[in-house]
């Protein structure tokens, strides 16, 4: 719906640029073009003042998307869960110290990236979850307020009216592809047909976009972060890849950074951003590192929708994606506006296997 419209819009607005050379520092790059470019601009403009840190820039950029409800998939009022509630996942990572702070299934607080930053700055922990993350947020001065909107409640009501489709439950009775719950698990054994769907479920293709951003300060210090309201109609309590260090994003100032979006339930099993940054460290180019991380997932889950952006510490960047036309946005050096790059999806498992053979991976 809204998301498809924006994806089409992004496609139309995107310039047919391929992976680009460094445009200079400071530098900002994030998943998705279109409405997400307001976040790129906000972070880039903040970095024009050298007193703004890379962490500040990532927080400012992601908070811009949260406030703008980018595409309905970031911030309040989007992706209602089965109970019609909007909960938020976010993380932020310091590329100097490798410290990260994150919140998962955060309830009734809108500025998830801000709370994640507080976890990073004011605790020795990495990840706080659920109502108790809300308690921490309130202790730190964040406002507890409604995160549902008339729009998100309306979409949840439509979902219920459409027999609760699409639906993330499997191996339950009544059949979750046909009816709403409450559901009961059915006993499984290794010869029952449903057992195999547990091993390799097809990706549920609904909208679940995310902002993941990497910033490079003019000094070379890097930071990364992610903010999302997760997957629409998720099972309450579900946490996606967004707040998982190495999955939603990852950064090491000595090497580079990565940000991800897509079918988070699958992506978080592969830690694609950790993989891509370590591939950079091992000598792959940003394009090779991005392709490799996506192809590792496509090999096991051919239907996966995924997109990652990879940037080295010089600001050389590339993207790779599967299952949809992914776009990313960047602005660096003296660029007077943000550029959007369109990333064609990886086409097939066969090409993936050939690719991996060529790179001897
Ligand atoms: C559930 O319904 C779908 C669609 O009609 C069908 O393909 C599937 O086999 C059903 N699953 C079970 C366990 O009955
Ligand atoms: C395993 O599941 C299959 C298919 O649902 C069923 O026919 C079979 O009886 C089950 N076997 C056992 C040992 O429960
Ligand atoms: C940026 O510069 C280019 C080339 O000089 C120009 O065409 C474009 O309109 C400028 N964009 C903005 C937003 O100023």
So what's the pLDDT on residue 356?
Answer: 61
Sign (positive or negative) of CA dihedral 51, 55, 61, 66: negative
Please state the domain extents for the chain: 30-145+205-359
- In sequence order, the β-bridge partners of residue 245 are 249
Q: What is the pLDDT of residue 246?
A: 98
178 lines ligand 1 (CB under 6 A): yes
Q: Catalytic one among 87, 134, 206, 210?
A: 210
CB 220 within 8 A of CB 313: yes
> Measuring CA to CA, which residue among 287, 290, 216, 282 is closest to residue 253?
216
- Which atom, in ligand 1's list, is nearest to the CA of 171? 13
Measured from the CA of 337, which atom of ligand 3 is nearest?
13
- The ligand that comes nearest to the alpha carbon of residue 336 is 3
At 11 the three-state DSSP class reads helix
Report whether residue 175 contacts ligand 1, using a CB cutoff of 6 Å: yes
Does a cis peptide bond (omega within 30 degrees of 0) precede residue 263? no
Cβ atoms of 57 and 360 within 8 Å: the answer is no
The alpha carbons of the chain give a radius of gyration, in whole angstroms, of 19
pLDDT in tens, 294-327: 999 998 998 899 999 999 999 999 999 999 999 9
Instruction: Indicate the annotated binding residues for substrate.
Output: 238-241, 261-264
Query: Which residue has its alpha carbon closest to ligand 3 atom 14?
Result: 336
Dihedral over Cα of 8, 223, 57, 44: its sign: negative
Give the pLDDT score at 13: 41
Predicted TM-score of the model (pTM): 0.89
Which ligand number lies closest to the CA of residue 190? 2
Which residues in the chain show pLDDT less than 70? 1-21, 191-208, 348-361
Using the mean position of ligand 2's atoms as its centre, give its distance from the Cα of residue 185 in Å: 15
- Alpha-carbon distance of 302 to 43, in angstroms, equals 34
Whole-angstrom Cα distance, residue 117 to residue 286? 27
Q: How far is the CA of 207 from the centre of ligand 1 (A)?
A: 23
Probe target for ligand 3 pocket from 45, 335, 337, 340, with the most ligand atoms within 8 Å of CB:
337
Say how far apart CA 150 and CA 154 lie, in whole Å. 6
pLDDT computed for residue 22 by the predictor:
81
Closest ligand to Cα 37? 3
Tell me, using a 6 A CB cutoff, whether residue 190 lines ligand 2: no
Q: Which CATH class is domain 30-145+205-359?
A: alpha beta
Residue nearest to atom 2 of ligand 2 (CA): 192
210 flagged as catalytic: yes
**pLDDT tens readout for residues 140-173:** 999 999 999 999 999 999 999 999 999 999 999 9
Give the pLDDT confidence score for residue 251 in this predicted structure.
99
Task: Give nearest CA residue, ligand 3 atom 10.
Answer: 336
Q: How far is it, in rounded angstroms, from Cα 218 to Cα 215?
A: 10
């Amino acid at each position: 719906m809204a998301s498809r419209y924006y994806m089409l819009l992004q496609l139309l607005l995107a310039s047919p640029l391929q992976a680009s050379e460094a445009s200079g520092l400071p530098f900002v790059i994030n998943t998705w073009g279109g409405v997400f470019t307001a976040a790129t601009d906000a972070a880039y403009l903040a970095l024009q003042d050298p007193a703004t840190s890379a962490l500040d820039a990532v927080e400012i950029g992601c908070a811009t998307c949260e406030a703008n409800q980018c595409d309905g998939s970031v911030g309040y009022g989007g992706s209602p869960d089965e109970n019609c509630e909007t909960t938020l996942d976010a993380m932020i990572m310091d590329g100097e110290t490798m410290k990260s702070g994150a919140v998962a299934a955060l309830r009734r607080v809108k500025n998830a990236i801000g709370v994640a930053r507080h976890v990073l700055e004011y605790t020795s922990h990495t990840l706080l979850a659920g109502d108790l993350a809300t308690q921490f947020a309130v202790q730190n001065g964040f406002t507890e307020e409604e995160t549902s909107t008339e729009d998100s409640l309306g979409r949840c009501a439509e979902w219920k009216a459409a027999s609760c489709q699409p639906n993330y439950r499997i191996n339950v009775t009544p059949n979750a592809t046909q009816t709403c719950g409450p559901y009961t698990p059915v006993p499984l054994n290794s010869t029952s047909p449903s057992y195999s769907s547990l091993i390799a479920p097809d990706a549920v293709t609904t909208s679940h976009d995310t902002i993941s951003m990497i910033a490079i300060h003019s000094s070379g210090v890097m930071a990364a972060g992610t903010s999302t309201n997760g997957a629409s109609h998720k099972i309450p309590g579900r946490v996606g890849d967004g707040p998982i260090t190495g999955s939603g994003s990852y950064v090491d100032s000595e090497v580079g950074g990565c940000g991800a979006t897509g079918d988070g339930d699958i992506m978080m099993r592969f830690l694609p951003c950790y993989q891509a940054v370590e591939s950079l460290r091992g000598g792959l180019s940003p394009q090779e590192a991005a392709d490799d991380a996506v192809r590792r997932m496509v090999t096991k889950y051919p239907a996966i929708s995924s997109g990652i952006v990879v940037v080295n510490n010089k600001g050389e960047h590339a993207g790779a994606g599967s299952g949809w036309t992914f776009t990313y946005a960047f602005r660096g050096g003296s660029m007077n506006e943000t550029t959007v790059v369109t990333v064609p999806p990886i086409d097939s498992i066969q090409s993936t296997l050939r690719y991996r053979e060529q790179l001897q991976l």
